[in-house]
Amino acid sequence: MKESRRPRRGDEVELVIEGVDARGHGVATLSADRVRVPGAVPGARVRAQVRRRRRGAIDADLLETVERGPWFVEPRCAHAASCGGCSFQHLAYEAQLAQLGALLERTLRPLAADGALAIEPVAGCDDPWNYRNKMDFTFANRRWIEPGEEEGADAHFALGLHAPGRHDKVLDVERCDIAFAEASAILATARRLAREQELAPWDLREHAGLLRHLVLRKSFATGEILVSLVTSDDAPAEVEPYAAALLAAHPEITTFVQSVNTRPASIAVGERERVLHGEGFITEELAGLRFRISAASFFQTNTAQADRLARTVARRASTDGTVYDLCCGAGVLGLAAAASASRVVGFELVPAAVADARRNAGANGVANARFVEGDLAATLPEFDGPPPDVCIADPPRAGLHPRVIAALRRLRPARLVYVSCNPAAAVRDLLPLRSDGYRVVRVEPLDLFPHTPHLECVLTLEGPAEAR
């Protein structure tokens, strides 16, 4: 391509990848254009082909890595090219943290009052492998064929993860290096037994077949392992011998649950549950508190980093007054903050999570916490208990509803501890509070999901002196 004109669709270009975007795609600059190249590693020199251009942004397909650059590492996982779950595996872990930090800094810039935000370096995992305490594997009768497989290979059974962008095909995962250490062996046995016992995997198009999901969870505190087998029917004559054989092969499994999902939607939580072995739950520890986790409970997937997150939030939310925990889930953050507070009020939409939160408070002897069930957009404006001195907010990726922001502006807590998994949504939510005089006094990012572009961060805001 000649230097004089701007690149068009189909052109081949050579680029040095400078960083990543929020989806983990490599980004480079070409004249005035920003070029996005999925799969390209920061620091690498690549050849790419322009797929489309839109308002100063170009999407290009990676053709060849000409030089790998200083941060390239050989991916550990045999499935790295086809799985798509760990899009950063080619990047040295220290470089992943640096890239995530740089991206966060750019995204949060609108919140900086005098041009600077106190963003701490991203706290990485001590061990970025085998960190996940939960994996949800899918059974399917259409296996994703890996490039280079010989023709005619059997493709009628798979147990693993969806191939990227393919809801109808599943990659047969042999080993997953981010799952807890025992998970891969259990997965392999579960696959072998299903085939030996001729159990039908789910057909994602026809909505037929028995086996749907295999969910594996582990408590890092106690070592307990929970297996949840999601099936389309009760089918005890098939499921019980299958469970017995899996338990015989893996005595490390402490509890086995069958969950029945008769609906077409492919979710790993059924309408009814049957405990076939053990107690039906495992117990995990975070921030010195114990939490009961059943097959359907939400729980952060990286125990070591979730512990750090809960302790960080508890430190920042420390007060002898009232703490509100908005979007509290099973209550982890609010309960961690309860020791110094006079009272904690948790707000949560999902009834099962509220029930978990109440039980978790009771089991940990926390007597000063109560929980309000319902949509925060309605429950927070209507709540007539004591107003908050400190608010914790840990919303889902979409962030907080405008009505919740409006309620926070009326309540004027002295401090807000906002936990974000989506910094762009955090900026949108927090800008109105900034114009009310709140200042971001600290940003503490943590990597909960090594080898992926996701980042969690704790933003601490202090209100103006006259706030409450």
Ligand X SMILES: C[S@@+](CC[C@H](N)C(=O)[O-])C[C@H]1O[C@@H](n2cnc3c(N)ncnc32)[C@H](O)[C@@H]1O
Catalytic annotation, residues = 421
Nearer to ligand X, 42 or 329 (CB): 329
How far is residue 101's CA from residue 305's CA, in Å, rounded to a whole number? 17
DSSP letters of 6-71?
---TT-EEEEE--EE-TTS-EEEEETTEEEEETTPPTT-EEEEEEEEEETTEEEEEEEEEEE--TT
Name the site residues for ligand X (rule: CB under 6 A).
298, 300, 327-330, 332-333, 347-350, 353, 375-377, 394-396
In whole angstroms, the minimum distance from the beta carbon of 198 to ligand X comes to 39
Q: Which amino acid is at 59?
A: D
In whole angstroms, the minimum distance from the beta carbon of 379 to ligand X comes to 7
> Which residue has its beta carbon closest to ligand X?
329
In whole angstroms, the minimum distance from the beta carbon of 277 to ligand X comes to 27
Q: Which amino acid is at 39?
A: G
Nearer to ligand X, 65 or 300 (CB): 300
Measured torsion, CA atoms of residues 184, 188, 194, 200, in degrees rounded to the nearest 10: 70
Instruction: Copy the structure tokens of residue 152.
Output: 């005619």
Angle at CA 396, nearest 5°, toward 115 and 120? 35
Nearer to ligand X, 307 or 389 (CB): 307
Which of 302, 382, 372 is closest to 344 using CA atoms? 372
Nearer to ligand X, 190 or 408 (CB): 408
Which of 404, 395, 389, 376 is closest to 317 using CA atoms? 389
Nearer to ligand X, 172 or 444 (CB): 444
Nearer to ligand X, 244 or 349 (CB): 349
Helix (H, G, I), strand (E, B) or coil at 246: helix
Q: Which amino acid is at 72?
A: F
Nearer to ligand X, 220 or 298 (CB): 298
Nearer to ligand X, 392 or 414 (CB): 392
* Polymer length in residues for the chain: 468
Instruction: Copy the structure tokens of residue 428.
Output: 């949108």
Strand partners, 440: 461
In whole angstroms, the minimum distance from the beta carbon of 229 to ligand X comes to 25
In whole angstroms, the minimum distance from the beta carbon of 405 to ligand X comes to 13
In whole angstroms, the minimum distance from the beta carbon of 401 to ligand X comes to 6
In whole angstroms, the minimum distance from the beta carbon of 240 to ligand X comes to 33
In whole angstroms, the minimum distance from the beta carbon of 313 to ligand X comes to 8
Which of 268, 302, 231 is closest to 446 using CA atoms? 302
How far is residue 208's CA from residue 141's CA, in Å, rounded to a whole number? 10
CA-to-CA separations, 414 to 290, 425, 434, 468, in angstroms, rounded: 30, 22, 13, 7
